[in-house]
Amino acid sequence: MNQNRKRFFPLNHALRIVLLVGVAVVHSAFNFAAHADRPNILIILSDDQGWGDVTAYGAKDLRTPATDALIKEGMRFDNFYANCPVCSPTRAALLTGRYQELVGVPGVIRTYPRDNWGYLAHDAVLLPIPLKKAGYHTALIGKWHLGLEKPNTPNGRGFDHFKGMLCDMMDDYWTHRRHGINYMRDNEKEIDPKGHATDLFTQWTVDYIKERGQPTTGKRQPWFCFLAYNAPHFPVQPPKDWLEKVKAREPGIDNTRAKLVAFIEHMDDGMGKVVQALKDTGQYDNTLIIFTSDNGGHAGSKANVGPYRGFKQDMYEGGLRVPACAVWKGKIKPGSRSDLVAMTFDLYPPACEAAGAKFDHAIDAASILPTLLGKPQKLERDLFFSRREGNARYQGQDYYAMRRGDWKLLHNTPFEPYQLFNLKDDPYETTDLSKKNRKKFNELSAALRKHIQRAGAVPWQKPAK
């Protein structure tokens, strides 16, 4: 040690500075190079956007150029499902890679205890945690909907940056209140911004992308951003000029439908601005972009769920099937299309794999990265859908669906019998086979009971075989 010090100190002071700076530059370059082959990850989630409410999915009265461009530049999914036909559970599944009822969120987390049906489990490992360990900066912009207080806030559950709303919805997109309470936050600080919520969420994301893309700020590290729009969730409130444009273009359109069309088009325009920010900052080519919706379209807003039966809240296909696409330049083939049956929680593992992030906790999801990269993939597994809800229709109980291959078992309230459909022969669920095919009915219902038992298991209970 002393000999080394004697050899070092006689060096010219200026030369020493040059050497130290050189080492720092090399170290910085090494760190950046280590991140250079790992993509930024941007997940965009719309709220209550029906399967058919994208031009590329067949909408005739609606224009979604930004979403259509992503589909053209990447991969479209034809059989993508939300984990639940309502908001909170799907978000919990996406961020944990687990079935929502196994992480404490079987139903909607609301702002008043008498109608709250979930609490995010303390041991649930949210997606930003493994990504942070892999060197990523993490951000959530927009709708959280998984808790109102510490520790169940975005910052408390792994996000470095949060700017958006904690609550389930807004009673007004301009004032941003829910039951008269302001749930808008910049990290832990209450804020009261002016403007339409969709525009705010868009601009905040653009700002984040630009900040992360600045090489002079010392923040050139890979990032994960979860942009969760509240649109087009009711109340449907498009800006006036967007509504007028739709009415002028679509003569005779129903007024309720016109509002929803304008609302979605306004959000789609925001998505376009976000993607443009990636391109302007040179980050587009190295960003994995995923877009989907949290559940099917809302019937009262006259959503388009394509040819499928049912809407939001229903376990029919219209309540669960959602548009979805992914873009990653040089990795995902432009204009590709997949018929793989996948769910929202299946986004957790590929995000980690793309980032080189490792985790050792249990998840229920499967990685769809092989499909995204154009490799053959077949997932043979049962898929389960659940929701708990209050009010007179549900009485605080759960209702379910499951899919095994082409077969689907479901009911839409806890108090109606299960129905059985073969989606290959009957994709629009018109003919209930529960009485005609009791063997298949019994097979699926037994598997569903076993799954239900998992959520209600106690520590000393042996797993069902």
> Which residues participate in catalysis according to the annotation?
87, 145
Report the length, in residues, of the chain.
465
- Write down the H helix ranges in 143-254: 197-212, 240-249
- Residue 76 near residue 67 (C-beta atoms within 8 A): no
- Residue 316 near residue 307 (C-beta atoms within 8 A): no
- Residue 88 near residue 107 (C-beta atoms within 8 A): yes
DSSP 372: H
Alpha-carbon distances, residue 154 vs 149, 422, 439 (angstroms): 10, 40, 46
User: How many CA atoms, within 13 angstroms, populate the side-chain half-sphere of residue 326?
Assistant: 28
Query: Which of 402, 234, 228, 251 shows the shortest CA–CA distance to 311?
Result: 234
Query: In the structure encoding, which two tokens stand for residue 30, read together?
Result: 């090494």
Hey, what's the torsion of the CAs at 59, 61, 66, 69, to 10 degrees? 50
What is the per-residue DSSP string for 32-58? HHHHHTS-EEEEEEESS--TT-SGGGT
Using DSSP, state whether 183 is helix, strand or coil: coil
Whole-number Å distance between alpha carbons of 384 and 375: 25
Residues 6+ apart with CB under 8 A from 181: 111, 167
Query: In the structure encoding, which two tokens stand for residue 67, read together?
Result: 């979403």
What is the per-residue DSSP string for 43-107? EEEESS--TT-SGGGT-SS---HHHHHHHHHSEEESSEE-SSSSHHHHHHHHHHSS-GGGGT-SB
**How many C-beta atoms lie closer than 10 Å to residue 29's C-beta?**
11
Query: In the structure encoding, which two tokens stand for residue 232, read together?
Result: 């087009």
How far from the centroid of its chain's Cα atoms is residue 181's Cα? 25
DSSP 146: S
Alpha-carbon distances, residue 207 vs 193, 199, 278, 457 (angstroms): 15, 12, 11, 45
